[in-house]
Structure 1
């Protein structure tokens, strides 16, 4: 079986850690593995499949010799994807950076795997809610035209990253201890006010558009 040189950009974050878990679970055939992150996380040691890997700071030169680059998301996708492609890697991007780019195939393997062949170095995947919905909608669409879809999502705090998960844990600890919980993270950094997430639901993800749908809701419409 052919083995590939793989890089993970954002290896220390929640999504990067999930990439590692899946590589091990599925026994993905990698020859070399390069773990990349921001300057702040560079130097950390991650033990993976019995071997210690040192996290490197991501630069344009990080992708030399890499064949598959898994991007865990965030602003780094736009910054480093061109360099990775130029170095000869195929970028599989988990962020929203390229989802609406007509030159980049938007792929759910169980729905439109044939689109992968159209890639020009970058393959995008939809957001998590769209992927899950498409898995159910695709076989229905194969049988009959779909006129309308009504969606309700109940999304995990993990979607807000490590900081949001840490704040949830801290708020639970504070409430159990009889302290007033502090909210600094959700629904997001752009908001003037943040809300307690522990034992709570926040009926908003990301900013509102002029049509009164949120950015997250419109992602589902546009990506679908």
Structure 2
């Protein structure tokens, strides 16, 4: 593809919550990088960020900035992706997009490397990174699906405020302080105060009474697993947690499986860490998953009435496996599969 010793990589939205984590994930990545370009909005241009002890100046994200870029990681909002991703592709870059802009486009692969890496071979310049809550769920469910089949998924999520960006974390802090001081909390990012609360709405409501976030989980799960007839329902809830999404997931398999067999299968699966020791209060929590790349699974138990039913508790860092790390993993997999060559 080029004669350089490595790849030219760009991060679009480099100063945002996910962009900052992308930078950190690239530092520890196996991806051979010869040049890193940090791109953001005009107001963020001129700021500096550090990568492997080098100071890099943030540039404005515009079409000309993608000249010579091999891989562009996008996390700057759907409108920016729709505008600039095609421009990056025109200039020879492969785009890995972290927004919902292209996820359901039939021409765009929607990829979780532990689940459907071969879909990367079908890319036409743009690859979509799934929704954070979808990613952690399918990583945990795919080993069960492969061995025992899958026909139904019912998920309730308990999602961290960082899914709504840096400003949402600040709002949680400010609201918490206000409530503790007997003051009225100011609300901007969410429809109601999030401090000391649980809001059963993430994104806008659709005509079918599900939210856009819930429909993302439903539709993306079917696409990633190439399983359009899979029965999926979701309820997505925002909690006053800074980092780390949690999910209560009920699955019905095609075959009955014992808890110990399910745990062994999960423990042997890439990207999964099992924390399941009820006798000693062993189960995963958002505070344990924060800053870690894996998907954590616990509270695995049989349904009391449906012999093919299992309940699982799934936790992951929404900014890492749910966004930045999955994007970088996609880039690494493109190189490992020789879809991109140096």
Deviations 1:69-115, CA, capped at 9 Å, x for gaps: 00014121111011100111110011111101111111110001001
- How far did 1:28 drift? 3.4
Distance 1:76 1:165 in 2: 23
Distance 2:87 2:185 in 1: 43
State the TM-score, normalized to the length of structure 2: 0.61
Alignment check: 8 A CA contact 1:104 1:120 kept: yes
Distance 1:141 1:26 in 2: 29
Closer/same/farther in 2, CA of residues 122 and 216 from structure 1, 3 Å limit: same
2:9 is equivalent to residue 12 of structure 1: no
Deviations 1:100-146, CA, capped at 9 Å, x for gaps: 11111111100010011111111112101111111121111112332
Distance 2:20 2:41 in 1: 15
Distance 2:5 2:51 in 1: 21
More strand by share: 2
Which stretch shifts more, 173-182 or 68-77? 173-182
Q: Which structure carries more relative contact order (alpha carbon 8 Å, separation 6+)? A: 2
Alignment check: 8 A CA contact 2:73 2:95 kept: yes
2:138 is equivalent to residue 134 of structure 1: yes
Alignment check: 8 A CA contact 1:181 1:196 kept: yes
State the TM-score, normalized to the length of structure 1: 0.93
Partner of 1:35: 38
Partner of 1:219: 216
Partner of 2:155: 151
Distance 1:101 1:108 in 2: 16
Partner of 1:24: 27
Partner of 2:80: 76
Partner of 2:206: 209
Distance 1:199 1:24 in 2: 36
2:99 is equivalent to residue 95 of structure 1: yes
Distance 1:92 1:218 in 2: 22
Structure 1 residue matching 2:20: 3-state secondary structure: helix
Structure 1: which 5+ residue stretches go unaligned? Answer: 187-193
RMSD over aligned CA atoms reads 1.4
Deviations 1:6-58, CA, capped at 9 Å, x for gaps: 10000000010010110112353211111000111111111222111111111
2:117 is equivalent to residue 113 of structure 1: yes
- How far did 1:177 drift? 3.0
- How far did 1:217 drift? 0.6
Distance 2:85 2:142 in 1: 30
Deviations 1:154-179, CA, capped at 9 Å, x for gaps: 11100111111111111122223332
Alignment check: 8 A CA contact 2:202 2:211 kept: yes
Structure 2 residue matching 1:152: 3-state secondary structure: strand
Runs of 4 or more consecutive aligned structure 1 residues displaced over 6 Å after TM superposition:
none
Q: Which has the larger radius of gyration?
A: 2
